[in-house]
């Protein structure tokens, strides 16, 4: 025991403890990396299956980087940076690049896929039943959400299986009841009630008989018997034209559609690059130009008024509650920031209930049962969303203004009062310039946020009200909700146009922010 503390472990035991801890840590790291690699490899296989080579390559490279980084003993900083960097690439860089790419395409409903898929869909849609087509018993199967036809074949012990994307092909392990195949391992055979529930989808299903569309399709009208249909359209791959049954010839118009000389287009089309047409259509398309510029003006008014009114209200409250003669300042400050403590989406939903024209608290209690259509009248709806947004924004302005006021040296105000300045002169000539130096960047960022404040608009009015059901924009739509309406809100979804307007929003906000920050820098230098 000489020369060694009673509480100090022997060197050998310490080495064993460190070795055990290292083994446990390495085992845990190995398990986690195995799980990550398993998920990554599944993603690579899935991407290759749908021929998404860029996604497959990115996942493969990401897995290699993660493995090298986390099995290395030297790349300590990279172990903390890699996860954030990967998420940045996926959720920011990729989204920005893809939005920029889609803005120069006609991507949208009717232009979702490639040219060959469009040809197959056109030939499959314009079809008629062969007069001499014999019915064949069919079983409806399902796997991974996709419907399949299972038909008898001419070869004993084999059946034909196909779907909308997979032509009929022979399978060996079908289950038969007599001469009719009724099932297949790994697939679910739909019962009569399930067929009735999906009658529309099954009735529209066309299964190609082979890789050649000219061989026709198999369809069923009752879910029990299948018939052969052939297309009334004829595709000429040499001339790249489609000829209808009446002799009308449709050719590639260079805009993602087959069109006749009279301008009639066949649907669906396919995705192609259209250059700046999405941007120019904002000016040249009358049905789009009016709604766009109306929404643009309201967006600027909504963002500017929200920032100005919220800042004025928050600053006024901060000045009042900063005066030493006001009693209960701590309690009042706590009450004033309550709107900031509630989630924005919850506040918007509560206000939607309060402003309900029939059952809302404001109409029933404050106005004694009046029938005021706060969210149904265009101008009242604009006023309502503006008031609600100011109510949610002023606590932030109150907090930052309070902090800025309390950080001011009191000697400045005292010197101004000695020179004979009143409280208004002190505010305009001393306090406000100093406040703007520190708060101007926050006001700029608040403007940018309100310029794209989708939640307040969508949760209160969903961009409405619409004066006409066919209008492209509602009375309270701002640019970001207008983009959402173009991309997801209507029947004809125009993703390419929505992406183009998204780029315009980015340019507008970035330009205004850059100019404002430059002016703020000048203000700081003058100060």
Q: What is the DSSP string of 216-278?
A: -EEEESSSSEEEEEEES-EEETTTTEEE-TTS-EEEE-SSSSEE-TT--EES-----B-TTHH
End-to-end CA distance of the chain: 72
Q: Answer yes or no: do 303 and 257 share one domain.
A: no
Largest CA distance in the chain: 109
- Is the model's pTM score more than 0.85? no
Contacts of 466 (CB under 8 A, 6+ apart): 474, 475
Phi, psi of 378 (to 5 degrees): -55, -50
Q: Answer yes or no: do 293 and 254 share one domain.
A: no
Question: Tokens 């009279």 appear where?
Answer: 262
Structural domain boundaries, residue 260: 126-266
Considering only CA atoms, give the Rg of the chain: 34
Token readout for 184 is 């297949």
- Give, for all 527 residues of the chain, the pLDDT tens digit: 445 554 555 666 666 676 777 778 778 888 988 998 999 899 999 888 877 888 899 999 999 999 888 888 888 888 888 889 999 998 889 999 999 999 999 999 888 888 888 887 887 777 777 776 668 899 999 998 899 999 998 888 889 999 988 899 999 889 988 888 999 999 999 998 888 888 888 888 888 888 877 778 888 888 888 888 887 888 888 899 999 878 899 999 988 999 999 889 988 899 999 999 999 999 998 889 999 999 999 999 999 999 999 999 999 999 888 887 888 888 888 888 888 888 888 889 999 999 998 889 999 999 988 889 999 999 999 999 999 999 999 999 999 998 888 888 888 777 877 777 777 888 888 888 888 888 888 898 899 999 999 999 999 999 989 888 778 889 999 999 999 999 987 667 899 999 999 999 999 998 988 888 787 765 555 55
Q: Answer yes or no: do 355 and 503 share one domain.
A: yes
Contacts of 468 (CB under 8 A, 6+ apart): none
Peptide bond into 465 cis (omega under 30): yes
What is residue 73's three-state secondary structure?
coil
User: Does residue 276 sit within a domain?
Assistant: no
What is residue 440's three-state secondary structure?
helix
User: Does residue 5 sit within a domain?
Assistant: no
Q: How many Å apart are CA 514 and CA 486, to the nearest integer? A: 28
Q: Answer yes or no: do 417 and 493 share one domain.
A: yes
Nearest to 151 by CA among 180, 110, 109: 180
Q: Give me the number of domains the chain comprises.
A: 3
Token readout for 134 is 């014999």
Q: How many Å apart are CA 482 and CA 499, to the nearest integer? A: 11
User: Does residue 118 sit within a domain?
Assistant: no
Q: Answer yes or no: do 149 and 94 share one domain.
A: no
Alpha helices in 337-453 (DSSP H): 338-341, 344-354, 361, 378-406, 410-418, 423-426, 432-451
* Domain end (from 70, 102, 134): 102
Nearest to 210 by CA among 259, 150, 149, 169: 169
Specify whether the CB–CB gap between 206 and 124 falls below 8 A. Answer: yes
User: Does residue 171 sit within a domain?
Assistant: yes
Q: Answer yes or no: do 406 and 324 share one domain.
A: yes
């Amino acid at each position: 025991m000489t020369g060694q503390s009673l509480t100090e472990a022997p060197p050998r035991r310490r080495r064993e403890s460190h070795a055990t801890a290292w083994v446990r840590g390495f085992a845990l790291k190995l398990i986690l990396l195995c799980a990550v690699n398993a998920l990554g490899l599944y993603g690579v296989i899935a991407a290759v299956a749908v021929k998404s080579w860029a996604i497959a390559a990115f996942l493969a490279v990401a897995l290699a980087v993660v493995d090298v980084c986390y099995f290395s003993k030297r790349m300590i900083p990279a172990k903390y940076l890699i996860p954030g960097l990967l998420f940045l690439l996926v959720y920011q860089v990729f989204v920005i690049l893809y939005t920029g790419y889609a803005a120069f395409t006609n991507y949208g409903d009717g232009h979702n896929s490639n040219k060959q898929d469009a040809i197959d869909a056109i030939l499959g849609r314009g079809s008629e039943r062969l007069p001499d087509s014999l019915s064949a018993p069919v079983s409806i199967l399902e796997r991974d959400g996709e419907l399949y036809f299972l038909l008898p074949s001419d070869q004993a012990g084999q059946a034909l299986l196909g779907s909308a994307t997979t032509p009929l092909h022979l399978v060996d392990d079908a289950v038969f009841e007599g001469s009719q195949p009724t099932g297949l391992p790994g697939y679910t055979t739909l019962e009569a009630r399930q067929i009735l529930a999906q009658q529309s989808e099954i009735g529209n299903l066309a299964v190609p008989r082979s890789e050649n569309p000219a061989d026709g399709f198999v369809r069923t009208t009752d879910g029990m018997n299948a018939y052969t249909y052939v297309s009334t359209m004829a595709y000429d791959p040499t001339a790249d034209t489609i000829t209808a049954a009446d002799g009308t010839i449709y050719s590639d118009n260079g805009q993602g559609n087959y069109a006749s000389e009279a301008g009639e287009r066949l649907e669906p089309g396919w995705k192609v690059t259209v250059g700046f047409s999405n941007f120019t259509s904002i000016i040249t398309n009358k049905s789009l130009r009016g709604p766009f510029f109306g929404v643009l003006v309201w967006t600027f008014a909504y963002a500017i008024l929200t920032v100005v009114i919220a800042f004025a209200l928050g600053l006024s409250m901060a000045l009042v509650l900063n005066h030493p003669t006001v009693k209960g300042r701590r309690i009042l400050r706590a009450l004033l920031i309550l709107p900031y403590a509630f989630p924005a989406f919850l506040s918007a939903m509560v206000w939607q209930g309060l402003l309900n024209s029939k059952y809302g608290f404001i109409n029933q209690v404050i106005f004694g049962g009046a029938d005021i259509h706060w969210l149904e009248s265009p101008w009242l709806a604009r006023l309502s969303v503006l008031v609600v947004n100011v109510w949610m924004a002023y606590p932030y302005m109150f907090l930052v203004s309070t902090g800025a006021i309390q950080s001011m040296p009191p000697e400045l105000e005292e010197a101004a009062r000695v020179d004979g300045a009143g409280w208004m002169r002190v505010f305009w000539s001393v306090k406000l310039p100093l406040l703007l130096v520190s708060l101007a960047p926050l006001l700029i960022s608040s403007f940018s946020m309100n310029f794209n404040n989708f939640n307040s608009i969508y949760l209160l009015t969903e961009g409405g009200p619409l004066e006409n059901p066919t209008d492209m924009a509602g009375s309270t739509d701002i640019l970001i909700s207008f983009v959402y309406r173009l991309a997801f809100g209507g029947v004809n979804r125009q993703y390419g146009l929505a992406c183009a307007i998204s780029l315009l929003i980015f340019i507008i906000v970035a330009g205004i922010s850059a100019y404002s920050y430059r002016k703020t820098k000048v203000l700081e230098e003058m100060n």
